[in-house]
Amino acid sequence: MMSRADRTVLSEWWWTVDRLLLGALFTLMVIGVVLCLAASPPVAARLGINDPFHFVNRQVFFLIPAAIVMVVTSFLTPRTIRRVCIVIFCLFLVLLFATLVMGPEVKGARRWLVLAGVTVQPSEFIKPAFVVLAAWLFSESGKRPEMPAQALAIGLLGIVLVPLVLQPDFGQTMLVCLVWGALFFLAGLRWIWMVGLVGLGVGGLLVAYQVVTHVRKRIDRFLDPASGDTYQIDTALESFRHGGWFGQGPGEGTVKRILPDGHTDFVFAVAAEEFGIILCLILLSLFAFIILRSLTRALDEQDPFARFAATGLALLFGLQACINMAVNVHLMPAKGMTLPFISYGGSSLISIAFGMGMLLALSRRRPGAAALAALSEGSHEPAPPRGASPAGAA
């Protein structure tokens, strides 16, 4: 058992990190392995893979480095997080543009690269780095009026949107825009900017509907199921009906055998069939707890950068989960977006772990230097409020 008086890095991390949030994230990881075990064997059989647990083994293979990435990242300071995100953003922005030229075309889109035999989706990794850098620019706009932070933040958004639209990947485009817009709103910037940007977003959606065939088909099928093939969503809804409240039991699901993408985009439907609506509500509660807990910690943060970045990362995580679950129950058109820590996918798993590691780091309780000195001397005086400067500091 680590003592609060220990001044080791590990002990300080343990007593300052949000252990409830950390536990909830690891719980999601474990549930993800269980659901991959339930959903992936039929997919392996349909693809002609001899090993029925092929996807389970790969999920565990990626889960180990993902857990390490999350924990190691949670040790970082806010300044180090900014520097790491600059490197990550620049690297994966280059790879994001490279997908347009070198990426294999899958279902009419170029979103992946094969590097050293491993399939990588650069857009997954650029999202958390983009959110942190946007949060930094918005925080600087209030502290340094001479810095064109607002213009830089808009430029940063444009740089990311160009390759996403060209891939095309409108699901990730929408997610990035929503989180960026939320940070824009939280930064207290002028309403005229917000109105103009919302107008641009609506205009872009209308253009995409008119120009991009598969976007128009998806929206039309959502609004009018008789206008096209709705086999995927019909099968997902049948999974919910077949599972009922308590499910058919582990391994007893039958609809999952014909459900396309049951281990990725529609794993939530597999959870409903085998474990029932009860597990779906538990998952929903876990996601809600993580989001609300993160936003509460962000609200207490005194540093504007840490507050904006933690809020943005929590919204990125929560909106992605909401979009996936909404698609599964036919509340939104299909987006091809994974359920965080639950769906199969190496890029998604590691990138989300990186984002949650930064969230844990930004939400850590950091007492001032005076409080640490008093604690090491055995003082029983209360620690200063979070974000307060040490006594005598300039």
**CB distance 159 to 93 below 8 Å:** yes
Q: Which DSSP string corresponds to 220-241?
A: HHHH-GGGS--HHHHHHHHHHH
- Answer whether residue 235 is part of any domain: yes
> How confident is the model at residue 180, as a pLDDT?
92
The H helix count followed by the E strand count for the chain is 14, 2
Phi, psi of 303, rounded to the nearest 5 degrees:
-75, 120
The total number of structural domains in the chain stands at: 1
Query: What tokens appear for 176 in the block?
Result: 């990035």
- Answer whether residue 374 is part of any domain: no
> How confident is the model at residue 291, as a pLDDT?
96
> How confident is the model at residue 47, as a pLDDT?
86
C-alpha distances in Å from residue 218, one per residue of 60, 96, 207, 335: 33, 24, 15, 9
Question: Which residues have C-beta within 8 Å of that of residue 169, sequence separation ≥ 6?
Answer: 109, 111, 123, 336
Q: What's the one-letter identity of residue 17? A: V
- Answer whether residue 3 is part of any domain: no
In whole angstroms, give the CA distance from residue 339 to residue 318: 10
- Answer whether residue 384 is part of any domain: no
Query: What tokens appear for 100 in the block?
Result: 């347009």
- Answer whether residue 24 is part of any domain: yes
> How confident is the model at residue 5, as a pLDDT?
64
- Answer whether residue 4 is part of any domain: no
Q: End-to-end alpha-carbon separation of the chain, Å?
A: 37
- Answer whether residue 215 is part of any domain: yes
**Three-state DSSP state, 364:** coil
Q: Which domain holds residue 205?
A: 9-366
What is the rounded average pLDDT for all residues in the chain? 85
**CB distance 113 to 99 below 8 Å:** yes
Which residues of the chain are under the pLDDT cut of 70?
A: 1-6, 366-394
Residue 113, Cβ neighbours under 10 Å: how many? 18
> How confident is the model at residue 79, as a pLDDT?
93
- Answer whether residue 149 is part of any domain: yes
Nearest to 37 by CA among 282, 242, 235, 263: 263
